[in-house]
Structure 1
Amino acid sequence: MRVALAQINTTVGDVWGNAERAARALDDAVRAGAELVAFPELTITGYPPEDLLMRPAFVQDNLRALEELAGRVPPGVVAAVGFVDLAGDLYNACAVLSGGEVLHRFHKRHLPNYGVFDENRYFREAEETAALSLGGSLVGVSVCEDIWYPVGPAREQALGGASVLLNVSASPYHRLKGLYRERMLGVRASDHGCYVLFCNLVGGQDELVFDGRSAVFDPGGNLVCRARQFEEDLLIADLHPEEALVRRLHDPRPRKETSDHLSVIGVPRESKPLEEMEGTEEEDPVEPRVEPSHSEEGEVLAALVLGLRDYFAKNGFSRAVLGLSGGIDSSLAAVVAVRALGAENVTGVLMPSEYTSGASNTDAAAQAKSLGMDTQTVAIGEAFDAYRDMLAPVFLGLPEDVTEENLQSRIRGNILMALSNKFGWIVLSTGNKSEMSVGYSTLYGDSAGGFAVIKDVPKTLVYRICEHVNEAEGREVVPGDVIRKEPSAELRADQRDSDSLPPYEILDPILEAYVEDDKGEAEIVASGFDAADVHRIARLVDAAEYKRRQAPIGIKVTSRAFGRDRRMPIVNRYRERAPEDGP
C-alpha cells in the first residue's frame, strides 16, 4: 500500500483556497502512485476556525468545498480530508473521498478543551467507530486527539483488525513537543501492532504555529519516515500491512481484550492496477525519508519565522517596523523579521535619548548592517524635554522616578506608531517572555505594536537563539557586543535590568515553574530557590496580568504561553498561604 501524507499550510476561513491547495497536493500524490492520501485536521476550514463555526454560511461553504474536492479524487485513490460535518450538530470530521464521492465521514471523539483548545465549545463527540477496507487491509481513521489516548478509537480499530492507523492532525507546536509526540506515536504503533500514519498541519495561525513533522511508524513502533518541520511537504511511504498481521499472530495479548462493534466501510477498487492509471508514474519502491530534527534553539527560531511570515502573508501585510535599541531582544526580533519578510521589508528605528550609550547606538547600527535592513534615526531628546516641561507644574517638588522612564518608552511607541500610520507598516514589539511575566514593560510604550515577535521566548532562550544563529551562519549575524553586554533598558543613568530583577538565570526557572508548571511558591522554594525571590516574582507575575491582557499577540513557543493558553482573572485576590501561617 503506497500512502502519501500531505502536510499543507491552510488558512482559516479560506475554504475554497484550502480545497484548491489540497487538490494540487493530491495531484502530486497520485502522480507518485499513492493509493491513500491524507491531509491535516480541518483542512477545508483551516484550524482553529473558532467562532466562524457559529455562522451557518461558513459551515455550508465548507461542505460545498469538500464536495468540490471530492470530484477531483480519481477512482482507485482514497483521500482523507479534515472538514466540519453538519449532521444535526457540528462534528470535527475526516471525510473519505474516492471516485468523486464522499464514502464516509469519521467524527472526532476526544475533543480537547485545555490549553489553546476550545473544541467542546463547538463540536459534538463521535459515537461510533469505523475502519476502511482498502485493498484487503483495514485502515482505521482518527482525528488528532483520538490517537493521544491509549483507550479510544485507535485501540478499537486495532482490536477490530486494522493493520494501519491513520491520524489526521492539527497539533500546535511548542518547543520539544515533536520529540514527545513521536514517542507517543511509536508507543501506539507498538502497543497495537499497527502502522501509524500521522499527518500534521503546518503553518502559522494568529499566535499558533503548526510544525508539520508528519511521520510513519511501523508495527514495532519504529520511525520509518518523517516529513520536514515548518515547511509544506508530501511524504510518500510504502507499507506492508501483512507485517501487522504477522506481529498480531505472534502477540496473544490483544486476544484477551474486547472492543465494541467496528463498522467496516468498503472502498470501491479499480479493476486495473493503480500504476496503469493515466497520469501515474512507474511504481518503484520508495526509499524511506527521515528528515532531521532541528535543535531546540533552531526549531524555536524556525517557529518564530514561520509564525511571523504567515501572520503577515495571510493578513495581507507587507512591511514591518521595529525599534532597534542595540539590545539582545530587538536584535533577535530583527533577525526573525528579516528571515520572515526579507530585509527589504523591514525598517529598524534608532531612537536615542540622553541615557542611550554610544555603544548601544553603535550596536544597533551594526545589527542593521549585518541584516541588510533599512534604518531611520529619530532622537527623542526634544520630545522628552517637552513632556517634562509640560508636566513640571503638576510634578512640582516630586523627584524623578519610573514615570520619567515610562515617558521615554511611550515617546518611542508613538514614533513607531506614527511611522506605521504614515507608511502602512506593522509595528513589531520586541519584549520577551521574562519581561512580560513580571510586568517589566510600559503600557503604550515598548508593549505597543501589531505583533509581539518574541513575547513567549524567555530571556535566557533569547541569548541561546542568537548564539545559535551566529554559529549556524558562521558569522556575527547578531554582533558579539550585543550578546556580551549586560542587559539594560537605558531609561536612566547607569541602569541595569539586575537593579530591578534577579539575574535571568535565576528568574527564568522561577517563571517557568510558576507560569508554565503552576507550581506554588513553597514547592518552588523547596527546589532550591530563595524564598524572597520566589515570593517577589510571584507577586509581580500576578500584578502584571492587566498589562498582558492589553499586549499584542505573539507566537507561542513554550508549553504554556500568555493569552489563550493561560487564562487568569485580572481581578484575583488569591495568594498562597504558607503552612506555618495557619488557617
Structure 2
Amino acid sequence: MPETLKIALAQLNPRLGALDEIAQKLRAAREEGARLGADLVVAPEFSICGYPPEDLVRKPAFVAACAERIAALAAETADGGPALLLGGPWREGEKLYNAAFLLGEGKILARRAKHELPNYGVFDEKRLFDAGPAPGPIAFRGFRLGVLVCEDWWLPAVPETLAESGAEMLLSLNASPFEVGKQDQRIALAVSRVVETGLPFVFCAQVGGQDELVFEGASFVLNADRTLAHQLPWFREAVTLTTWRRGENGLVCEPGPLAPEPSVLAQTYHGMMLGLADYVGKNGFPGVILGLSGGIDSALSAAVAVDALGAERVRAVMLPSPYTSRESLEDAAEVARLLGIACETIPITPAMAAFEQALAPAFAGHAADTTEENIQSRARGLILMALSNKFGQMLLTTGNKSEMSVGYATLYGDMCGGYSVLKDVYKTTVFALSRWRNDHRPEGARGPAGMVMPTRVIEKPPSAELKPNQTDQDSLPPYDVLDRILAGLVEGEASVEALVAKGLPRETVLRVWKMLDRAEYKRRQAPPGVKITPRAFGRDRRYPITNGFTGLVR
C-alpha cells in the first residue's frame, strides 16, 4: 500500500465559456503539476468552462462542447503524467449535474455529482441542475478520496457519508465568490467538518472576476488536527504542491507555504481591482474612461482603474459647470497628475444653455428645481457616453453604495456607465479605502506608490456641485449615521424598531427606509459592479419596485 500522495492544487482564473482557452489553461496546470512531481492535479468547480455558467448550461451545444473538452483532456492522461480532477457539467439522460471528473490512464476514471445545490444569495442552482446521490469515495492509486463539489462541504451530511464509507480525506472543488470576511467563515466551517469526520480537508478554489462576482482563490489545506498546512495566495492564480503521508492516524499533509491574509481594506481594494481588470480584459475593452470631478468617489475609482489596468488604459475627463469650484478643478487635475493619467476638460455650460433654451417653452412659469440639476448630470453622462462610443473605452461610473441605496444619483446622468467598482462600497468605506491607498501600494498594482489623491479630496465635505454651496448633507443624513442605518436595513434586514433600539433616530431611520425602497427602480437600471458585501444590490438583494410596505411597526 502506498504511503505518499502528492496533490497539486490549481486555483485558476478562467474566461467563462472560452472552452479551448480554458482547456489550454488546464493543460498548463497539469504540466506544472507534472514538473512538481504531482500524482494528481486538482482544479476548481466547473473548471472546464468557468463559474457561474448561469443559463449557458441550458444550451445542449454548450454542455456537449464541455463534454468534448473533458474527453480530450482525459485522453491526454494516457501519457503517464498526473491525473486531473476537474469540475464541469454532466448530462446523463434527462438529468444535468454539476459534477467532478477524475481523469487518468487515458479515460474518465470516475464522476461525482454535486448533492447539495445552493439556492440563495447569488446562487440558483436548483433551477439549473439536478441533485446527485450522496457520493462515495473515489479509489485512486491506493488512496480513498472523498470528493465534494462546493456546497457539499458547507453542510455536514455529505462529508459524514464519505467518512462513514471509508474516505481518507475530504477534497473539495470550489467556486465560492468573494465577500469581505468570508474566508473566516470558510475556515470555521472547514474546522467543523474536520472535527465531525476526523478527516483532513482540502479547499481548491477559483480565482478571478466574472461579471459582478470576484473569486479570491485563497485555497487551503487543514490537517485532521485542525492545523493549517497550506494557504494559497489571495486574488491570483497559483499551482501549489501538497505532499501527503499515511501514518498511524491517517493521512497528514506536510506543512507548506502560508500566504498571509490581507486586511479587510486590502481585500476590498484587491477585489475591486481584480473585478475591474477581468471585466475590462475578458470583454475586450481597450481601457476605461471616467469623469473626474475632484471628489473622493471619482478619485478612488480612478486609482482602482490605474492599479488594475495601468495609467495608459485610463482616460479622465473634467466636465465643469458654472457651479464647479476652483478647488474641485485643482483637485481633479492633481489626482490625474499623481496617477499619471491623461485628462482633458470639456465644460458643460454650452450644453446647459442648449437644454435651457430647448426646454424654455415647456418649463415656462415653473421655478427651477432638481430638474435643472439633473440636466447637468445628464449632460455629463451624454458627453462621456459619446466619448466612450467614439473611442471604445468603457465608461466607468463612480457612484457608491450609500448613494445607490437612497437614490442619490441621476438616471442617465452619473449612473451612466458599463461598470462600477464602488457599487457595493459604502461611503464611509470609500473614505477608509482612500486613506489606505494613499499609504499602501497593493501587491500587483500597476499604479504608483505613495499618495494617489490629495488629502483635501478626502477631507472636504462631499458635494455634487449642482447648485451654489451644495453639500451631500443638504439632502442626506451624515454618512456615518446613514451607513449604520443602511447596513442594518440592507445587510441585516433589520426593522425600524430594531435600529431605533440601537440609538438611531426614528425619523431618520424611517426617512432612509423610504428612500431605500423608492430607489429600487433606479438600481434596476444601474450598471454591474463588484460584489464586496454579503448583500450586493442586484445579485443578492432583489426587492419589488412596486412596494407598499412602509416598515412601520403597528
Which bracket does the TM-score occupy, shorter chain normalised?
A: over 0.9
Look up the equivalent residue of 2:176 and give its one-letter code. S
Shift of 1:76: 6.4
Secondary structure at the counterpart of residue 410 of structure 2: coil
Flag the 1:438–1:61 CA change in 2: closer, same or farther, 3 A. Answer: same
Secondary structure at the counterpart of residue 369 of structure 1: helix
Q: C-alpha distance in 1, partners of 2:63/2:55?
A: 11
User: What does 1:7-46 correspond to in 2, within 5 Å?
Assistant: 7-46=11-50
* 1:141 and 2:109 correspond: no
1:225 to 227, 230, 233: 230
Deviations 1:183-219 (A, max 9, x none): 2112222332211010000010000000100000000
Shift of 1:286: 7.0
Flag the 1:139–1:207 CA change in 2: closer, same or farther, 3 A. Answer: same
Tell me if the contact between 2:100 and 2:111 (Cα under 8 Å) persists in the aligned partners: yes
Please name the residue that 1:471 is paired with.
Answer: 439
Q: C-alpha distance in 1, partners of 2:251/2:405?
A: 54
Tell me if the contact between 1:188 and 1:221 (Cα under 8 Å) persists in the aligned partners: no
Q: C-alpha distance in 1, partners of 2:246/2:471?
A: 63
1:162 to 163, 167, 170: 167
Please name the residue that 1:557 is paired with.
Answer: 532
Please name the residue that 1:376 is paired with.
Answer: 344
Tell me if the contact between 2:229 and 2:255 (Cα under 8 Å) persists in the aligned partners: no
Q: C-alpha distance in 2, partners of 1:315/1:153?
A: 38
Deviations 1:94-129 (A, max 9, x none): 001111110111100111011010101110001132
Flag the 1:246–1:170 CA change in 2: closer, same or farther, 3 A. Answer: closer
Secondary structure at the counterpart of residue 440 of structure 2: helix
Shift of 1:398: 2.1
Please name the residue that 1:525 is paired with.
Answer: 500
Tell me if the contact between 1:363 and 1:482 (Cα under 8 Å) persists in the aligned partners: yes
Select between 227-236 and 567-576 the one with higher mean Cα deviation.
567-576
Shift of 1:511: 0.6
Please name the residue that 1:327 is paired with.
Answer: 295
Shift of 1:576: 2.4
User: What does 1:186-335 correspond to in 2, within 5 Å?
Assistant: 186-242=191-247, 244-245=249-250, 288-335=256-303
Tell me if the contact between 1:195 and 1:244 (Cα under 8 Å) persists in the aligned partners: no
Secondary structure at the counterpart of residue 298 of structure 1: helix
Q: C-alpha distance in 2, partners of 1:235/1:179?
A: 21
Deviations 1:225-246 (A, max 9, x none): 1111110011221122436439
* 1:97 and 2:112 correspond: no
Please name the residue that 2:445 is paired with.
Answer: none
Shift of 1:487: 0.6
* 1:71 and 2:75 correspond: yes
Deviations 1:363-389 (A, max 9, x none): 000000111000110011121122122
Secondary structure at the counterpart of residue 466 of structure 2: coil
Deviations 1:323-358 (A, max 9, x none): 000111001110111111110011000001111111
Tell me if the contact between 1:195 and 1:241 (Cα under 8 Å) persists in the aligned partners: no
Look up the equivalent residue of 1:494 and give its one-letter code. N
Q: C-alpha distance in 2, partners of 1:218/1:286?
A: 9
Tell me if the contact between 2:513 and 2:551 (Cα under 8 Å) persists in the aligned partners: no
Deviations 1:145-198 (A, max 9, x none): 010102x21111112222211000000001111122122112222332211010
Look up the equivalent residue of 1:43 and give its one-letter code. S
Q: C-alpha distance in 2, partners of 1:468/1:72?
A: 48
Please name the residue that 2:117 is paired with.
Answer: 111
Q: C-alpha distance in 1, partners of 2:140/2:393?
A: 52
Tell me if the contact between 1:77 and 1:99 (Cα under 8 Å) persists in the aligned partners: no
- Identify unmatched segments of 5+ residues in structure 1: 248-284
Flag the 1:186–1:177 CA change in 2: closer, same or farther, 3 A. Answer: same
Secondary structure at the counterpart of residue 85 of structure 1: strand
Secondary structure at the counterpart of residue 240 of structure 1: strand
Tell me if the contact between 2:134 and 2:161 (Cα under 8 Å) persists in the aligned partners: no
Tell me if the contact between 2:289 and 2:393 (Cα under 8 Å) persists in the aligned partners: yes
1:62 to 33, 48, 66: 66
Aligned residues: 541
Shift of 1:78: 2.6
Q: C-alpha distance in 1, partners of 2:64/2:116?
A: 24
Look up the equivalent residue of 1:408 and give its one-letter code. Q
Flag the 1:171–1:49 CA change in 2: closer, same or farther, 3 A. Answer: same
Deviations 1:393-445 (A, max 9, x none): 22223222111110100000001011011111110000000000000000000
Q: C-alpha distance in 2, partners of 1:130/1:192?
A: 14
Tell me if the contact between 2:173 and 2:204 (Cα under 8 Å) persists in the aligned partners: yes
Tell me if the contact between 2:230 and 2:255 (Cα under 8 Å) persists in the aligned partners: no
* 1:364 and 2:337 correspond: no
Secondary structure at the counterpart of residue 363 of structure 2: coil
Select between 406-415 and 127-136 the one with higher mean Cα deviation.
127-136
Flag the 1:246–1:163 CA change in 2: closer, same or farther, 3 A. Answer: closer
Tell me if the contact between 1:323 and 1:330 (Cα under 8 Å) persists in the aligned partners: yes
* 1:491 and 2:495 correspond: no
RMSD, matched Cα: 1.5
User: What does 1:386-397 correspond to in 2, within 5 Å?
Assistant: 386-397=354-365
Secondary structure at the counterpart of residue 165 of structure 1: strand
TM-score (norm 2): 0.95
2:546 to 563, 566, 571: 571
* 1:449 and 2:417 correspond: yes
Shift of 1:513: 1.0
Look up the equivalent residue of 2:35 and give its one-letter code. R
Secondary structure at the counterpart of residue 468 of structure 2: coil
Structure 1 runs of 4+ off > 6 angstroms?
A: none
- Identify unmatched segments of 5+ residues in structure 2: 442-448
TM-score (norm 1): 0.91
Overall identity of the aligned pairs, in %: 45
Deviations 1:543-580 (A, max 9, x none): 0000000111111011110112111111122222313x
Please name the residue that 1:480 is paired with.
Answer: 455
Flag the 1:358–1:497 CA change in 2: closer, same or farther, 3 A. Answer: same
Flag the 1:379–1:217 CA change in 2: closer, same or farther, 3 A. Answer: same
Q: C-alpha distance in 2, partners of 1:134/1:15?
A: 27
Select between 155-164 and 140-149 the one with higher mean Cα deviation.
155-164
Please name the residue that 1:545 is paired with.
Answer: 520
